[in-house]
Structure formats: C-alpha cells, structure tokens
Amino acid sequence: MVYVSLALDFIDLNDALKIAEKCYRFFDILEAGTPLIKAEGSKRCIDALRKFNLPIYLDLKTVDVGGLEALLSADPVRYATVLALSDESTIRDFHNVCKSKGVYSVMDTIRCNINRIGEIDVPVDYVAIHLGVDERRVGGDIVSVVKIFRSVYGDRRLAVGGGLSPEKISNLLPLLRGDDILIVGSYVSRSSNPEESAKQLRGVMDEFI
C-alpha cells in the first residue's frame, strides 16, 4: 500500500489545525511541516495533531546533532527526517535513535545530487525525493527524478514530495512500491476548497489500488 501524507506547512498552528480538521480523513499520515515546527515547537505540534489518530511525519530536516534531534520524535511520530547533505555521523546517530524509538528514519535529498544517496553507508528506512519550491520554479520534474532513482537504487523505500497534484500522482504511482509515501501540501492546503481537493487526491489513490 502506498500512503499519502498531508504536509501542514504553516507558521500558525491554528491554521494548520483548520486544514487538518477538514481533510485528515482522506490521508494516512499527517506531516508537521518544518515551518510549523520552527514556529510552534515540535512538542506542541505533536500534542495538537495527536487527536487525529494518524501517524505523524515530523519534518525536522536535521542537519546536526542527529542523535539529540531524533529524541524529539515522541509518539505518535512514526517518521522523522534528516538531511542527506548532513555529515554521515549525523545521519547514523539520527537513524540509530529513531530505530530505538520505533520511528522510521527518512533521509531527505533536497539540494543533493542523487549520487549522494549511494555515498551514505547508513541503512535509513526511507529516502525522501523532495523537489523544493525554487527547484520546481526552474523546471525540476519529480517524476523524472523518481525514474532515475529507481534505475539506480531499485526498490528502496521512498517518500516523494514537491508540488504533487492528482496528475503527477497518477504518473508516480506505477513507480512506487508498498509502504512508499506521497507527500501532498499546497495542492490541498492552499486550495480554495481544501476538502474537495483532498477528496480528489484520495480518489486517484483508490483508483490505483
């Protein structure tokens, strides 16, 4: 089963909760986005999202003191992110602490060449293929990147995010495997009708199954 996560990239927790309240039933995972964590703190985000009874994807984007930051992954966090551009020791410490807490470590490749993945000798649970806003603005294409990833790294577990829409999800689903994650943000959170947009996405997922 491919999971779909709602990225709550806000700087106000109340705004994030309004979207979550409307849309959570269409998603398998809720993401506490990096801006929200910075603005509100990880503990407050986790406590507020707990009521939805969904696993939390904690988008820490850790770049240093990996073992320490991984400790922020309190229940019901099930996924937490560390940047691939970090020192390998940071990624290893992050992964080891996540493993001890029953949390999946996710190595986010934003701003990294895909070759960087093979350079890291740490068995992270997921690789996140993540095209940032600026990369998409200059023509980056997430589907092409995932195709290249599959040709080089085979069936490693993936989390994929960056400007995902129903059309892009339809193109991505044949490339994904069980337990992979699709991360959707602005298509829902910036929509004039978030609930309807979330319903459309869920429909695409259900059709594929």
CATH classification code of 3-208:
3.20.20.70
Contact status, residue 153 vs residue 117, Cβ threshold 8 Å:
yes
Entry pTM = 0.96
Rounded to an integer, the average pLDDT of 18-43 is 98
pLDDT at 195 over 90: yes
| Residue 59 φ then ψ, to 5° | -85, 70
pLDDT, mean over the chain = 95
pLDDT for the residue 99 = 98
Which of 123, 109, 198, 107 has the alpha carbon at shortest distance from 162? 109
Query: How do residues 95-125 score in pLDDT, each as one tens digit?
Result: 999 999 999 999 999 989 899 999 999 999 9
For residue 101, the one-letter residue type is K
pLDDT tier at 174 (50, 70, 90 boundaries)? Answer: very high
CA distance 33 to 9: 5
Residue at token pair 């044949």? 174
Rounded to an integer, the average pLDDT of 34-48 is 98
What are the boundaries of each domain within the chain? 3-208
CA distance 197 to 17: 17
Which of 80, 72, 62 has the alpha carbon at shortest distance from 5? 80
